[in-house]
Chains A and B, each alone.
Chain A
Amino acid sequence: MDNSTHDSRDPVWAAAWAWVTRLHEEKQLAPHDARELAQWLAADAAHSDAYSKAGRLWQLAGFVPPVSDVEIPDAPEADD
């Protein structure tokens, strides 16, 4: 699957998506990265729009019930 055109066609979306997925992996951004994200978000309304949209897509993917056995962190034991 060649998606090389994808990033070049919409660099704002690609950047927004990269930030959202990076936040998922790193939980907490290092201060200089957080600053970079803040500056990027504030630079253009299109940036924060794309970031909100990417964030929503990412969040809603987290509501889909899994088809495989995934241990959800912190899940209480079903013991009753």
Chain B
Amino acid sequence: MLCALQGMTLGQVFIAHRAQLRSVAKKIVGTAEVADEITQDAYLRLAEGHGTQQTVRQPLSYCCQVVRNIAIDHCRRRSFEAKIRVFTDDGEVPEMPVSASYEQRLDDRRLIAAIDSALGTLPERTRKAFELFRLGDLTQREIATRLGCSATLVNFMVKDAQRMLESLRTRRDLFGA
């Protein structure tokens, strides 16, 4: 029942389901140690707030979204570093931290808010298509079925949303020089 969670902060919802959320992380990253670090990073981000004006409609689902997102990104960066390591020969590659620093999370929140505003300018259905693609891990074909439109249209909508995201890359206030 969702109503039981409504009066709780995201941090409280997270703590109440910590074991389940940790196993979501472990399923993605494999090891318990890394899963623990990811769970902790997710908790801090949730406890500090997500940075947008949005009301979180489904708190537990959102906690899971944050955990998955950190875990998947960790895997992506890990494979990225492995690739660099293979093809450069300067040896020393610093250990990649799993958790973000306080300052990093602060910077991230600023960018998350900007992304939310940018996505907010899209037509509702376009944003929905993008959310199903980015967060729901659905294929564009599955999204087309879900929304009752053509896969071509979904492709256009997802591309529009991506262009909106990409346009933020030139914002010096978000990315520095």
The residue that A62 contacts in the complex, of B4, B17, B69, B169, with Cβ under 8 A, is: B69
For the complex, count residues of A whose C-beta is within 8 A of B.
45
The residue that A60 contacts in the complex, of B58, B79, B112, B124, with Cβ under 8 A, is: B112
Chain B 127-153 interface 0/1 with A at a Cβ cutoff of 8 Å (1 = within): 110011011110100000000000000
- Is B84 a contact partner of A41 (Cβ separation < 8 A)? yes
Q: Closest CB of chain B to A60's CB: distance in Å?
A: 5
- Is B64 a contact partner of A76 (Cβ separation < 8 A)? yes
The secondary structure that dominates the B interface is helix
Q: Closest CB of chain A to B58's CB: distance in Å?
A: 7
List residues 1-19 of chain A with CB under 8 A from any CB of chain B: 1, 3, 6, 13, 17
With a cutoff of 8 Å between Cβ atoms, the chain A residues found around residue B52 in the complex are 64-65
The secondary structure that dominates the A interface is helix
What is the bound-complex CA distance between A51 and B169, given in angstroms?
12
Q: Closest CB of chain B to A66's CB: distance in Å?
A: 4
- Is B136 a contact partner of A71 (Cβ separation < 8 A)? yes
- Is A67 a contact partner of B127 (Cβ separation < 8 A)? yes
For the complex, count residues of B whose C-beta is within 8 A of A.
63
- Is A61 a contact partner of B4 (Cβ separation < 8 A)? no
- Is B127 a contact partner of A75 (Cβ separation < 8 A)? no
Also in contact, A41 and B80, with CB within 8 A (given A57-B165, A74-B24, A76-B20): yes
What is the bound-complex CA distance between A21 and B23, given in angstroms?
26
List residues 103-136 of chain B with CB under 8 A from any CB of chain A: 108, 111-112, 115-116, 119, 124, 127-128, 131-132, 134-136
- Is A74 a contact partner of B27 (Cβ separation < 8 A)? yes
Chain B 54-81 interface 0/1 with A at a Cβ cutoff of 8 Å (1 = within): 1111111110111011001100110110
- A to B CB contacts below 8 Å, 24 in the list: A25-B139, A34-B83, A41-B80, A57-B165, A57-B168, A57-B169, A59-B76, A60-B108, A60-B115, A62-B135, A63-B51, A65-B54, A65-B57, A65-B65, A67-B124, A68-B131, A70-B132, A70-B135, A73-B68, A74-B68, A75-B61, A75-B65, A76-B21, A80-B16
